Structure 1
Amino acid sequence: MTDRFTGTDRYVATDDLTLAVNAAITLERPLLIKGEPGTGKSMLAVEVARALGKPLIEWHIKSTTKAQQGLYEYDAVARLRDSQLGDARVHDIGNYIVKGKLWQAFEADDTPVLLIDEVDKADIEFPNDLLLELDRMEFHVYETQQTVRAQRRPIVIITSNNEKDLPDAFLRR
């Protein structure tokens, strides 16, 4: 295992792509990979994780995906149902917080590779909504009044099929 990506037996990376991946790892910055569907963008994250011996966390974006889902979701309906049934779990709001992919990446014991796949499928605000969390590597959980901080920066690989233009602020980072 190494901290440098050189391609794998299943993924031949160009020199430029290898340089970009290793720069993102060294600088601890997200890497945006843009290209046509089916060109191996998502597979790059899989192979980077495999080559470096890191866990892979995959977040596949859909048109309905909101950035908040990557952090966490509060299941108020389950809590209401449990309160009506007299379940003792209802007294701890933490029982109704579902960790998102970013939270999982922030808590990982080993530096994970976080794939945010097809970021351009979501609405135009989605990438901007992630900027602060990706920059600071932390977010606040309002329901429990806790701040979740990354134990270590994940290796973030973001893919785009060029279906929509991404916001300039997102591209600059």
Structure 2
Amino acid sequence: MAAADPGPPHAGGASGAGVSGGVGGTAGRRGPAGCLVAVLLAGLLAGVLATGLVAVADASLRDTKVIGKVGQPASVRYPDGRTHHAGIVEVRTWLFHRHRPYELVLGSDPSLSYGHSVTFEATGEGPPKIVAVEWRAEGARVRLDSGHEVFVPAQKFLGGR
């Protein structure tokens, strides 16, 4: 009677200790170091995603404050029949209150929450101030205390823009 062929020898001896994939082996299991790495990678990924969401929210949401406004005089009339306003709006991010460029807004909304906007950086000390607005049929010329002038054509702020 012939003895049964025991098959190929296994590393780790006949007991199967240290053999992966066999009965009593470690297939599909990680050691403590592998679990720690997986948890750290998941935490890192969650942190990066959370940071990205906060950065997008901070950049997208704004807090605005009108810091100066001049209304159109009654002597000047535009074809849309509305009274227009020119003003400077200070813009900050909503979440961290970081300063963003100022906006010169011209339009018929007295709160300046809607209108034609020109974005600019202040060049003087402190917030910019409107020194004068020259309202004409072809548009409005806004003079700032820094000496800068901005001309906005009337068609850009007429009709509720």
Query: Which structure dedicates a bigger proportion of its chain to helix?
Result: 1
Which protein is bigger by CA-based radius of gyration?
Answer: 2
Larger relative contact order (Cα-Cα within 8 Å, sequence gap ≥ 6): 1
Under a length normalisation based on structure 2, what TM-score does the superposition of the two structures give?
A: 0.22
Query: Which structure dedicates a bigger proportion of its chain to strand?
Result: 2
